[in-house]
Amino acid sequence: MTAMPADLKGLDLRAEIERLRKERNAVILAHYYQKPELQDLADFVGDSLELSRKAAETDADVIAFCGVKFMAEVAKILSPEKIVILPDMEAGCSLEDSCPPEKFKAFREAHPDHIALTYINCSTEVKALSDVIVTSSSAETILQQIPADQKIIFGPDRHLGGYLSRKFNRDMLLWPGVCIVHEAFSETELLKLKAQHPGAPIAAHPECPPTIVDHADYVGSTSGILNYAKAMEGDTLIVATEPHIIHQMERALPSKTFIGAPGADGNCNCNICPYMALNTMEKLYLALRDLEPRIEIDETLRLGAKKSLDAMLEMASGSVGKGDLGNR
Ligand code: 13P
Ligand code: SF4
């Protein structure tokens, strides 16, 4: 983890980041699960698909990625000539950790007649072993383009894969990974909360287990959930995803109420992504100042991973701006 120099005390970090952003010709991209102060100074805040597209099309020299490592790696794969920095290199993902490349390779080799449709929350190596990458906002559009008789391996998120498999009646072999954040929501506590707010719909991310998704009025990506909040008629929404997204909802819809779905202890603190939380203003400042930590990827590996990402961008083109899996 990046060491924190004591001389940062007293620095106006926001002003310093502004200065460095201009000096470096940097673009700051942030995921919705980042701390509000990072979301507020980003040039763009979005879901995984939108962030991939922004990274591919930017003309900045430096991409400062406020998100997790696999997202910054996607930026580097799609924009290899740019310097891509991640405030904290330890910002990983439980889904990526659940899927070591050598085990995934063996799994693929054991099922040679299957194609690998793989969630973007995985390592660059696993992307290079896959046929098509999906995000939660593009998975539905992409799956519908794959012939019904084509056998599919889906990894590493078994809940997203299971959701797609049930919704589209597709038999898929699922890798047994989960997101520790979405896995922590409690059905019992959610039903107690719903009883207190009977008129409030529930919006859930498809990384949630079926015990949560089955109670949701809307299931979709982070952008999809945000769009649902904007379009809904009521004034209260129960949000079953990482609670930092509520910052964007409160900014866009200050008169509405957003309640984070609870974990087993009855509050939503256990649903804060510990990896996303590693990024801070201090670390972003240091990363822009030092242009470190920097994402570097071996060129052969990058080209391998780019194929499955390009397939996603091509096949997802019909889902531009929709950003969701749709109602259940
Ligand atoms: P989306 O923003 O694409 O919905 O992904 C959520 C997530 O878990 C990112 O790690
Ligand atoms: Fe990974 Fe879950 Fe954190 Fe997203 S919220 S980065 S899937 S651990």
Q: Are residues 71 and 137 in the same domain?
A: no
- Domain end position, chosen among 224, 256, 271: 271
Which residues are registered as beta bridge partners of 204? 219, 240
Cα(67) to ligand 2 centroid in Å equals 10
Q: Is residue 189 part of a domain?
A: yes
pLDDT of residue 4: 59
The protein residue with its alpha carbon nearest to ligand 1, atom 9, reads 48
Pairing of the two strands 151-155 and 172-174: parallel
| Whole-angstrom distance, CA of residue 307 vs CA of residue 311 | 6
With 0-12 / 13-18 / 19 or more C-beta atoms within 10 angstroms meaning exposed / middle / buried, residue 56 is middle
The answer on 309 and 289 residing in a single domain is no
> Are both 172 and 307 inside the same structural domain?
yes
In this predicted structure, what is the pLDDT of residue 328?
40
**Residue carrying the six token digits 């969630």:** 119
Q: Which ligand is located closest to the Cα atom of residue 134? A: 1
Name the residue of 74, 93, 98 to mutate for ligand 2: max ligand atoms within 8 A of Cβ: 93
Split into its structural domains, the chain has a count of 3
* In a shared domain, residues 144 and 131: yes
Burial class (CB in 10 A: 0-12, 13-18, 19+), 91: buried
- Residue 270: the pLDDT is 77
Using an 8 Å Cβ cutoff, are 175 and 98 in contact?
A: yes
Looking at 254, 271, 288, the residue that finishes a domain is 271
Phi, psi of 164 (to 5 degrees): -65, -40
Assess if residue 146 is contained within a domain: yes
If one counts every other C-beta atom within 10 angstroms of the C-beta of residue 316, the result is: 24
Kindly give the confidence (pLDDT) of every residue in the chain, 328 residues in length, as a single tens digit, with 9 standing for 90 and above.
445 566 788 899 999 999 999 999 999 999 999 999 999 999 999 999 999 999 999 999 999 999 999 999 999 999 999 999 999 999 999 999 999 999 999 999 999 999 999 999 999 999 999 999 999 999 999 999 999 999 999 999 999 999 999 999 999 999 999 999 999 999 999 999 999 999 999 999 999 999 999 999 999 999 999 999 999 999 999 999 999 999 999 999 999 999 999 998 776 567 999 999 999 999 999 999 999 999 999 999 999 999 999 999 999 986 544 444 444 4
Distance CA 312, CA 266 (A): 38
Q: Do 224 and 247 sit in the same domain of this protein? A: yes
Residue 117 lies in a domain: yes
Atom of ligand 2 nearest to the CA of 242: 5
pTM for the complete prediction? 0.94
Whether residues 167 and 314 share a domain: the answer is yes
Residues 6+ apart with CB under 8 A from 91: 67, 68, 69, 275, 276, 278, 279
Q: Say if ligand 2 is within 6 A of residue 84 CB.
A: no
Q: Which ligand 1 atom is nearest residue 221's CA?
A: 4
- How many Cα atoms are found within 13 Å in the side-chain-facing hemisphere of 285? 19
- Does any ligand 2 atom lie closer than 6 A to the CB of residue 270? no
Task: Give yes or no: residues 306 and 265 share one domain.
Answer: no
Taking the C-alpha atoms of residue 118 and residue 317, their distance in angstroms, rounded to an integer, is 17
Q: Is-cis flag, bond preceding 206, omega within 30? A: no
118 and 145 inside one domain:
yes
In a domain, 254, yes or no: yes
Check whether residue 14 and residue 56 sit in a common domain.
yes
CATH code at position 174: 3.40.50.10800
Which atom of ligand 2 lies nearest, measured to the CA of 182?
2
Domain with 139 in it = 95-178+302-327
Whether 1 is in a domain gets the answer no
C-alpha span between 34 and 32 (Å, rounded): 6
Domain shared by 306 and 168, yes or no: yes
Q: From the alpha carbon of 67, which atom of ligand 2 is closest?
A: 6
Domain membership of residue 225 (yes or no) is yes
Question: Is residue 216 domain-resident?
Answer: yes
- The answer on 190 and 266 residing in a single domain is yes
**Together in a domain, 284 and 320:** no
Q: Which of 53, 121, 159, 213 is the pocket-test mutation for ligand 1 (most atoms within 8 Å of CB)?
A: 121
How far is CA 53 from each of CA 114, 155, 246, 316, rounded to the nearest angstrom?
Answer: 28, 22, 23, 11
